Structures are given as structure tokens and as C-alpha cells.
């Protein structure tokens, strides 16, 4: 099994993809030469261009298309269950209304999360985090964003760690958040879990921010990426992921700059472009 191809070759150990292990000259971890790195294609909320985001239909389609990783968002219901939905309110992606945290799991499960996207998806439900992880287990890396807003969910870090451990997926899940305190808490609870900090802006010292959170990676909005940023991250022993890229030119540019992964809503385009980048065509 090749070690230079992320995704299927590394889902048995997400930390291996992130470069943990060999101490680097900077005190972090060593990285392969730029030509040996391969960008990981991450299906954003599943194959969300072709199926309703963050539903099992979207994740299963992404896996069928060959995605090496899928990204999902975790929030908590009023009765303390972890479900997969991006927005703080259910209005945009279901036939319901109001904050996720104001609904019980039973109420959440009664909402239609597919009809808004297309009649063929009517009846799709907001899935439990456990269901998404089980769908991807042994098939793809799961990039899991903890949506700890607008008010932090007390104890959600331990809850998610327990779910991941309960499924035996510590080596197949990557946890990230805009709440860097949350990332630090996950790292303290589960040092084996790969983690990253999300941000959208020009940080004065992004590698330091990641290190302060005990993170393995930077997860950066596409508008704030440069070759220098990628090089600085790698020099510090950090992986560098970019979100969310849906055009061919930017996908190619990211691959050329040596980023370690790119998240996209357009799974087919992403796999085609990054596949060519791997083969050098």
C-alpha cells in the first residue's frame, strides 16, 4: 500500500497523512519533498453539489464517486444528541424553523432535510454523527467540524471524542473548529485524534495559533492562501488545508502550491483535477 497517497491509503491512520512521527528541523514533524506530497480531496458536506448537504445521501454519493475524505458539521440538540448540520438554525436546509438546539432529537428527525434540494431527495433526514461516521468507516477520512456557536456547547468535545472512540475511529477522524479552545480541549482529551484550526483571515502567525491549540493543521479559507503560507506551515510541521474551492483554476493552483488537502462542493470536478495533479498531467 503506497504511503504517498492520502485518503484510502491513510484512513487507517489519519496522523500518518498529517506528517506526525518524524521530528523535523524546526522541532515539528518532517514533510516529504513537494513533488511527493499529494493533495487530499475533501467532499464538503458530502457531494453537496449533487445532493442535499450533510445528509447520508450526500455522503454516500461522495464515497461512490471516490472521495478520499468527507467533511461534516456537528451540533447538539436540546436533549444532548450530536447531529450533523451546518447552520445554527434548521430553516435553510429543512422544512422546519428555529435553532437546532431548541429541538429534541425526535423533532429533528421529523424534519425533511432533502426536499429543499430536489424532489428525489424528499424524506432525507438530519443524520446523527454516529450514522455519518459509520457510513464512512473504512472508506474515507472524516473531517469533522465542531460548530461551537453562537454559544459553546458545554462538554461537546468529550462527547464527540467518546463517539469517535466508541466506533474505533480515532485514526479515521480529523477534528477542527473555528473555536480554537475547542480544538485544544479535543487534543487534551484525545492526543491520538488529528486536529486543525479553522480560520478566514490573515493571521500574524498562523503556525503559532495552531501550536497554541495543539493542532496538527491549518484549515484556511481559499481567499487567504499563498505559497508562503503553505511553506511556513510545513516548516512548522503542520498540514495545510484549503476550503472551499469549486473552480478548476484555484484547485490547480492549490495543488501546485503543495497544499495537503482541498475541500470542494463539486466532488466530481475536485477528483478530476486533483487526480490529474497526482499523475502530473
Local confidence band at 183 (pLDDT 50, 70, 90 cut-offs): very high
Residue 138: pLDDT above 60?
yes
Q: Tell me the three state secondary structure of residue 47.
A: coil
Ranges 15-19, 23-27, 270-274, most confident? 270-274
User: Catalytic site residues?
Assistant: 44, 86
- Residue 212: per-residue pLDDT: 98
- Residue 150: per-residue pLDDT: 83
- Residue 18: per-residue pLDDT: 54
53-105: per-residue pLDDT in tens? 999 999 999 999 999 999 999 999 999 999 999 999 999 999 999 999 999 99
Residue 4: pLDDT above 50?
no
- Name, in order, each residue with C-beta under 8 angstroms of 38's C-beta and a sequence gap of 6 or more: 4, 5, 6, 277, 278
Torsion of CA 201, 204, 206, 207, to 10 degrees: 170
Tell me the longest C-alpha to C-alpha distance in the chain.
55
Domains in the chain with CATH codes: 7-51+63-77+128-279 (3.20.20.190)
Task: Give the whole-angstrom CA distance, residue 252 versus residue 273.
Answer: 7
On whether the CB atoms of residues 42 and 241 are closer than 8 A, the answer is: yes
Q: What is the pTM of this model?
A: 0.89
Local confidence band at 29 (pLDDT 50, 70, 90 cut-offs): very low
Amino acid at each position: 500500500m503506497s504511503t504517498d497517497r492520502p485518503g484510502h491509503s491513510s484512513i487507517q491512520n489519519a496522523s500518518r497523512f498529517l506528517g506526525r512521527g518524524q521530528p523535523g528541523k524546526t522541532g515539528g514533524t518532517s514533510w516529504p519533498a513537494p513533488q511527493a506530497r499529494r493533495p487530499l480531496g475533501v467532499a464538503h458536506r458530502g457531494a453537496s453539489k449533487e445532493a442535499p448537504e450533510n445528509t447520508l445521501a450526500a455522503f454516500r454519493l461522495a464515497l461512490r464517486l471516490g472521495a478520499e475524505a468527507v467533511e461534516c458539521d456537528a451540533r447538539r440538540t436540546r436533549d444532548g444528541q450530536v447531529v450533523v448540520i451546518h447552520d445554527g438554525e434548521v430553516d435553510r436546509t429543512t422544512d422546519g424553523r428555529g435553532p437546532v438546539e431548541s429541538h429534541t432529537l425526535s423533532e429533528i428527525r421529523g424534519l425533511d432535510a432533502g426536499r429543499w434540494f430536489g424532489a428525489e431527495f424528499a424524506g432525507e433526514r438530519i443524520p446523527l454523527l454516529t450514522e455519518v461516521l459509520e457510513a464512512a468507516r473504512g472508506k474515507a477520512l472524516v473531517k469533522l467540524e465542531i460548530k461551537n456557536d453562537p454559544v459553546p456547547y458545554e462538554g461537546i468535545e468529550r462527547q464527540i471524542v467518546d463517539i469517535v472512540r466508541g466506533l474505533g475511529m480515532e485514526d479515521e477522524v480529523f477534528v477542527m473548529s473555528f473555536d480554537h479552545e475547542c480544538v485544544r480541549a479535543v487534543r487534551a482529551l484525545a492526543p491520538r485524534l488529528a486536529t486543525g484550526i479553522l480560520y478566514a483571515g490573515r493571521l500574524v502567525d498562523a503556525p503559532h495559533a495552531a501550536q497554541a491549540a495543539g493542532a496538527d493543521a491549518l484549515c484556511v479559507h481559499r481567499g487567504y492562501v499563498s505559497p508562503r503560507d503553505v511553506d511556513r506551515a510545513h516548516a512548522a510541521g503542520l498540514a495545510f488545508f484549503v476550503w472551499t474551492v469549486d473552480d478548476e483554476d484555484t484547485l490547480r493552483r492549490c495543488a501546485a502550491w503543495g497544499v495537503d488537502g482541498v475541500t470542494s462542493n463539486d466532488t466530481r470536478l475536485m477528483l478530476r483535477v486533483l487526480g490529474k495533479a497526482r499523475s502530473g498531467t
